[in-house]
Structure 1
């Protein structure tokens, strides 16, 4: 059954649409976590920075056809238990004010630890306002774009710029 596409549709992109992001000559698997619920301190308003608030995270991780399809071994795919633990740890330790920064960090960590080709992350704050079910952000990153924006790469680029002209080749 075909889903209707509505501008007001807040559901994450259907997995069939995400699979188009793998190259056309490659099969693609999508590992997902839906409705992960956790608490963290995040926000820009004073009241958000004192008490942890509930957030809901949905993640889709695209990988090239998993070897696990034939071997049936967890080490040949993305272990969603490890992704879940990674998110739980980040929620305890991050210092981001914006959901966008937290989403970017989650994406970078997944790219660092797993062989992901692309990631879609949706982070929501439920009932932020009495007349709204949730507010949030949805980000989509391909491996090359997420890694290019990682803090480590930015620091390296800044150091390269600062050191430019000081060392001759």
Structure 2
């Protein structure tokens, strides 16, 4: 299986366990790996034979701007399911980092991986 990767994608969403933390959008950083068969697009050189990563980023930003999550785990699962269902990925791995949330900590987050059913 081949991989399309999107690294350090900055998005805005409302995220946090305390209610006050979800009042205003925060910057979250995503690393995304999408498993896909790229053999056809390697030969055709056509965007129609692959996943349009610009469309993936636009869709993620759109859905997260309208969403609110308590846990980074829920946010990561939301992104995985979106990519699998809307873009036809064969697998997806998402790393969600919430930077600078605790003193002396660069970031906190999770990394999850899901396979298409």
- TM-score class normalised by the smaller sequence: over 0.9
Q: Residue 89 of structure 1 corresponds to which residue in structure 2? A: 62
Q: Please tell me whether the aligned partners of residues 118 and 142 of structure 1 are also in contact (alpha carbons under 8 angstroms).
A: yes
Q: Please tell me whether the aligned partners of residues 66 and 77 of structure 1 are also in contact (alpha carbons under 8 angstroms).
A: no
1:30 aligns with 2:3: yes
Q: Please tell me whether the aligned partners of residues 93 and 114 of structure 2 are also in contact (alpha carbons under 8 angstroms).
A: yes
- Which has the larger share of strand? 2
Matched residue SS, 2:6: strand
List alignment gaps of at least 5 residues for structure 2: none
Q: TM-score, normalised on structure 1?
A: 0.66
1:140 aligns with 2:113: yes
Aligned residues: 117
Q: Residue 71 of structure 2 corresponds to which residue in structure 1? A: 98
Q: Please tell me whether the aligned partners of residues 94 and 102 of structure 1 are also in contact (alpha carbons under 8 angstroms).
A: no
Post-superposition shift, 1:61? 0.1
Q: TM-score, normalised on structure 2?
A: 0.93
The higher relative CO (CA closer than 8 Å, separation ≥ 6) is in 2
List alignment gaps of at least 5 residues for structure 1: 1-27, 145-169
Q: Residue 89 of structure 2 corresponds to which residue in structure 1? A: 116
Q: Residue 100 of structure 2 corresponds to which residue in structure 1? A: 127
Matched residue SS, 1:48: helix
Superposed CA RMSD: 1.2
